[in-house]
């Protein structure tokens, strides 16, 4: 709201108190129930001062991480909000109304409407002063953030485009023959047509098509130093690709259900699946290091933080695992439906659910294991794809 004092330099945690019992034992510090529909996504600002939620009720809300209070209500979309991204000075939302909106984080006013997609906008990504989007209209687009105009339209997928990732030009090889083509960086998209595509942002041309999956590509992450993309699919595999050459480097096979979410940390890939497990793999070899079980339904969200792996599940619970040993450390109970997204800041875990609530949980007291060393691990959609792929029937549990 206008005139709201700066939170800079203030401690963000002591004002929060458990709603019941001990917050360190898995009960919520605060329950935010202002939305009138399920929350589809949750974004944390780079400075850690605000949260942004996008909901089935067609609105987005800004929240203070200092006290969990709603700072602003963002109204204007004509259908449900599918995804959102929060920057320090602006908030971005996309919707089933085919538009993207940019908002002032202090006043809650809409600053820009991006029009052009002809179907549901699934994802957005703000990077390098550009806005990228993916849609059910089978396209991805690049926009001028300030003017709201389309810079490029990326056409080539044969079905809806779900997921996005971006690699900036300064992270790419500097060979003279590549400089012009790579000047705007590379955009990687994943689609229900079973492929991922790599696009030259400067020209709008398709640089590579990554073929190999036999099901929809639901998620992807990029490893910048090695120029490698990791894609997860409904075919139950993860695949690693060289995005410059298009070569498939390796296939990670052990899941018994769709791979819904991925996290890449310290040369380890964590994958959440409809088979009710998370698996940890060596990124460079594809070897499985360990399996995190105990979930009662699909794993819909992942977040690694300070040696702890946090998961959200279709069983309406969040969990904290020791990332190195795989031991279950804590279960967070309270949500009524699937947890669509999780974030961690300081000693607080934030979970957003299809039950319409944002919950804040204390994670103080969780053991902090050192991050795994690369190469020396301890052995051992309201609609189809709007984060609700995790609601698909889970496969029977398999031995690890």
Q: What does the pLDDT profile of the chain (400 residues) look like in tens digits?
A: 333 333 233 222 323 444 433 334 578 999 999 999 999 999 999 999 999 999 999 999 999 998 899 999 999 999 999 999 999 999 999 999 999 999 999 999 999 999 999 999 999 999 988 999 999 999 999 999 988 999 999 999 999 999 999 999 888 876 555 666 678 899 999 999 999 999 999 999 999 999 999 999 999 999 999 999 999 999 999 999 999 999 999 999 999 999 999 999 999 999 999 999 999 999 999 999 999 999 999 999 999 999 999 999 999 999 999 999 999 999 999 999 999 999 999 999 999 999 999 999 999 888 655 555 554 333 333 333 333 333 333 333 333 3
H/E stretch holding 72 reads strand 70-74
Report how far residue 206's alpha carbon sits from residue 213's, in angstroms, rounded to the nearest whole number.
18
Q: Supply the pLDDT for residue 37.
A: 98
What CA–CA distances, in Å, run from 34 to 106, 153, 205, 319, 328? 19, 36, 43, 24, 31
Three-state secondary structure call for residue 249? strand
Three-state secondary structure call for residue 238? strand
DSSP 177: H
Neighbouring CB atoms inside 10 A of 209's CB total 13
DSSP 160: -
DSSP 24: G
Q: Which residues contact 14 (CB under 8 A, 6 or more apart)?
A: none
Q: How, if at all, do strands 50-55 and 278-282 pair? A: unpaired
Do the Cβ atoms of 390 and 300 come closer than 8 Å? yes
pTM (2 d.p.): 0.86
Rounded (10°) CA dihedral 91, 95, 97, 101 = 10
- Nearest partner of 193 among 235, 158, 239, 163, judged by Cα: 158
Q: Supply the pLDDT for residue 132.
A: 98
Q: Which two three-digit tokens encode residue 343?
A: 């974030």
End-to-end alpha-carbon separation of the chain, Å? 51
Do the Cβ atoms of 93 and 77 come closer than 8 Å? yes
Three-state secondary structure call for residue 123? strand
Do the Cβ atoms of 96 and 120 come closer than 8 Å? yes
Q: Which two three-digit tokens encode residue 138?
A: 């089978």
Largest Cα separation within the chain, whole Å, is 63
Q: Supply the pLDDT for residue 378.
A: 35
Do the Cβ atoms of 310 and 318 come closer than 8 Å? yes
Q: Supply the pLDDT for residue 400.
A: 30
Three-state secondary structure call for residue 23? helix
Q: Which two three-digit tokens encode residue 2?
A: 């206008």
Q: Determine if residue 207 is left, alpha or beta; phi over 0 gives left, psi from -120 to 50 gives alpha, anything else beta.
A: alpha
- Nearest partner of 207 among 216, 196, 215, 199, judged by Cα: 199
Report how far residue 203's alpha carbon sits from residue 221's, in angstroms, rounded to the nearest whole number.
23
Three-state secondary structure call for residue 311? strand
């Amino acid at each position: 709201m206008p005139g709201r004092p700066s939170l800079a330099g203030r401690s963000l945690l002591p004002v929060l108190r458990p709603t019941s019992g001990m917050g360190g034992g898995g009960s919520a510090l605060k329950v935010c129930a202002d939305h009138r529909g399920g929350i589809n996504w949750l974004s944390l600002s780079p400075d850690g001062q605000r949260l942004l939620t996008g909901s089935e009720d067609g609105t987005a809300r800004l929240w203070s991480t200092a006290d969990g209070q709603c700072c602003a209500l963002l109204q204007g979309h004509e259908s449900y909000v599918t995804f959102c991204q929060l920057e320090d000075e602006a908030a971005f939302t996309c919707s089933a109304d085919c538009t993207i909106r940019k908002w002032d984080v202090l006043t809650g006013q809409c600053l820009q409407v991006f029009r052009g997609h002809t179907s549901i906008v699934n994802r957005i990504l703000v990077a390098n002063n550009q806005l990228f989007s993916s849609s059910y209209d089978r396209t991805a687009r690049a926009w001028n953030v300030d003017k709201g105009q389309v810079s490029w339209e990326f056409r080539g997928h044969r079905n809806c485009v779900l997921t996005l990732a971006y690699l900036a030009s300064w992270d790419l090889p500097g060979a003279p023959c590549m400089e012009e083509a790579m000047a705007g960086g590379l955009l990687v998209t994943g689609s229900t047509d079973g492929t991922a595509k790599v696009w030259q942002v400067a020209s709008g041309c398709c640089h590579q098509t990554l073929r190999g999956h036999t099901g929809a590509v639901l998620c992807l992450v990029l490893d910048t130093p090695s120029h490698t993309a990791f894609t997860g699919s409904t075919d139950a595999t993860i695949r690693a690709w060289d995005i410059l050459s298009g070569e498939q480097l390796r296939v990670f096979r052990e899941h018994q259900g769709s791979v819904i979410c991925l996290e890449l940390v310290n040369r380890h890939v964590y994958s959440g699946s409809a088979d009710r497990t998370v698996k940890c793999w060596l990124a460079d070899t594809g070897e499985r290091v360990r399996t995190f079980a105990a979930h009662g339904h699909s794993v819909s969200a992942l977040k690694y933080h300070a040696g702890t792996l946090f998961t959200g599940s279709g069983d309406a619970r969040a969990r904290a695992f020791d990332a190195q040993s795989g031991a279950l450390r804590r279960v967070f109970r309270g949500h009524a439906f699937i947890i669509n997204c999780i974030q961690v800041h300081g000693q607080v875990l934030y979970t957003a659910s299809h039950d319409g609530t944002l919950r804040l949980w204390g994670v103080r007291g969780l053991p902090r294991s050192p991050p795994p060393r690369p190469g020396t691990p301890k052995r051992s959609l309201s609609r189809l794809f709007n984060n609700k792929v995790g609601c698909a029937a889970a496969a029977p549990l398999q031995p690890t």
